[in-house]
Amino acid sequence: MNAPAWFTGTGAQPGARLELICFGSAGSGGGAFLGWNRIAPAWLRIVGVQLPGREFRHREAPWTDLQDLAATIAAACAQRPGPYAFFGHSFGALLAYLTACELQDTGARAPLRLCVAGRPAPQLPLDYPDVDGLRDEEFLALLHRFDGTDPQVLADAAALAAYLPAIRADLRLNAGYLHRARAPLALPIAAMRGRDDPACTAEELAAWSALSRAPTRVHEWDGEHFFFKPDPRPLLAALAALLAAPAPSRAGHPIESPEEEGTA
């Protein structure tokens, strides 16, 4: 599989000088982020990571080895023509982190910044049910709890049958991840959550600071796990402000409100 198959949106924003490579939540495809290009500043291109088993790669089986998946995406990222940063939500936050680690470990060009949302830091135990032990109706109840799955998909038997294998596979990787000690990242982290997110507390989010030698900034927003889904503009404005600014040099991880930064 050649590198372009791992990304979607690479032709958007022709004058962009920076790419924000986005890793979606469990079961999602890279196309979930393409609409962001319509509201992003002209200098920023939004690129979605396209995992097997969904959208234009729906005929492929979902990946079952998380480390191998991260290494493969890292190799594809290393071939991107210009500078880039990462954004990952939920399972995508874990995958973005592991991909950044692979890039650093191999000496490849690393992202300028790692932005994560809606997931406890990877070194913490994840309080998540065993998806393999859930019947379909129990699994659907779990999806309803996080309120991020398109209701039209949940109501369409054919769409649901196509969707469930990918999201089950991703959640299996997410819940089964066992953290191992590795060198702290040399890049700054921005960690974000909705204040009412049932999957990630403020303390669990702040723990991302242990994974980087550079400063970590922690942002909280009104909302739940998919706090940005009703309107992605405030989040995208905050991400653009982070990426446009020089990397911070001070230590610490203060809780910051997007409103305080003028990005909402």
Sign of CA dihedral 12, 93, 78, 17: positive
Residue with more model confidence, 158 or 181: 181
* pLDDT tens sequence across 116-171: 999 999 999 987 777 777 887 787 777 776 665 666 666 666 777 777 888 889 99
| Chain position carrying tokens 């191992």 | 180
Q: Is the pLDDT of residue 3 over 50?
A: no
Amino acid code (one letter) for 171: L
pLDDT of the residue at 156: 64
Residue with more model confidence, 85 or 160: 85
pLDDT of the residue at 146: 65
pLDDT of the residue at 140: 78
pLDDT of the residue at 55: 86
Residue length of the chain: 264
pLDDT of the residue at 24: 95
Number of other CB atoms surrounding residue 128 within 10 Å: 13
Q: What is the greatest pairwise CA distance in the chain?
A: 52
pLDDT of the residue at 165: 86
